[in-house]
Amino acid sequence: MYDTLTTSYTFACPVHGRVHVRLSRFRRLQELPGAHSPAVFRVEFDCGCGGEHPGLLTHDELDWAPLGLEDTTSYLNLMTSRTESLAHELGDLAATRIRAGEWPWSFFCWPEERPRPVFPSAFRLLAPAASSEQVGVLVQCPACGRYSVNLVSRAHVDVPFVNDREVGVVEHLFGADTGATIEEFHAELWAGSFDARRLALE
Ligand SMILES: [Zn+2]
Ligand SMILES: [Zn+2]
C-alpha cells in the first residue's frame, strides 16, 4: 500500500502494527527469485520502533504507486460534480511530466559518466550518510547494469519529480558480486569519500 499524500509505503511492524515508511528509510531492496508476475521485491526498512523489518512489494507498488497509479482514493471533481479517481488524475499528471522530459527519479551513472532516469526497483541499498540529512543510494543502472553510489537528499528519493540539481558521486567502480558490492558500499559511505565529486543531474 502506498499513500500519495504522505509519499509513504505501508508495512507491518511487530511493535506498532501498521507503519508508514518513506523510501529513504528503505535499507535493502531485492527482487525475489523465481517467476512472479508482476515481480515481487523484498524490502528491509528502518522502522520508527528502532528495528529493521522485512516487507514485500510488487513491482507496481514499488515503482508506479508513488506516481499515483495505484491510488484507490476518489474525490469530488467540482468542475464536473462527479466523483473521480485520484489515480486517473495523478497518472495523467505523471504521464504529462514524463513526456515533457521530467523524470520521477534520476541518478548519475558513474561507469557511463551520465545522468540516467531510474525507478525505485533499481535501488539496491540505502544508508543515511554520517552527520547529514543525506542518504547514500546504491543503484543498479537500468541501462548498463552496473552499480553506482550517489549521495542525495531525502526528498530526491522520497518525492517523485523532486530531483537534486547536483548529487555526490563515489568515484569507484563496484563489482558485479553482490556480497562484495554491499561491503564496498558501506566502506565507501563511511569513508566520507562522497565529497569527492559533485556532478550535475541536469
Ligand atoms: Zn517497527
Ligand atoms: Zn549505466
Q: Which ligand is nearest to the CA of 16?
A: 1
In 3D space, the residue among 49, 40, 59, 41 whose CA is nearest the CA of residue 21 turns out to be 49
Residues 29-81: tens digit of each pLDDT: 999 998 778 899 999 999 999 999 999 999 989 998 898 776 666 666 776 77
Q: What is the pLDDT of residues 139-172, one digit of tens each?
A: 999 999 999 999 999 999 999 999 999 998 888 8
Say how many Å lie between the CA of residue 15 and the centre of ligand 1. 5
More confident residue, 39 or 132: 39
Pairing of strands 8-13, 123-128: unpaired
Rounded Cα–Cα distance for residues 33 and 31 (Å)? 6
How far is the centre of ligand 1, averaged over its atoms, from the C-alpha of 43 (Å)?
14
* C-alpha cell belonging to residue 91: 497518472
Cα–Cα distance, 120 to 117 (Å, whole number): 10
What is the rounded distance in angstroms from the CA atom of residue 150 to the CA atom of residue 143? 16
Query: Torsion-angle region of residue 84: left (phi > 0), alpha (psi -120 to 50) or beta?
Result: beta
Ligand nearest to the CA of 54: 1
Say what the pLDDT of residue 137 is.
93
CB atoms under 10 Å from CB of 104, counted, come to: 20
Those residues whose beta carbon sits under 5 angstroms from the ion ligand 2 are 109, 112, 141, 143-144
Structural domains in the chain plus CATH codes: 2-67 (2.40.50), 106-200 (no CATH)
Q: Which ligand is the nearest neighbour of the Cα of 13?
A: 1
Closest ligand by atom to 49 CA: 1
The answer to whether residues 4 and 43 touch, using CB atoms and an 8 Å cutoff, is no
Cα(28)–Cα(45) distance, integer angstroms: 7
Neighbours of 145 (CB within 10 A): 10
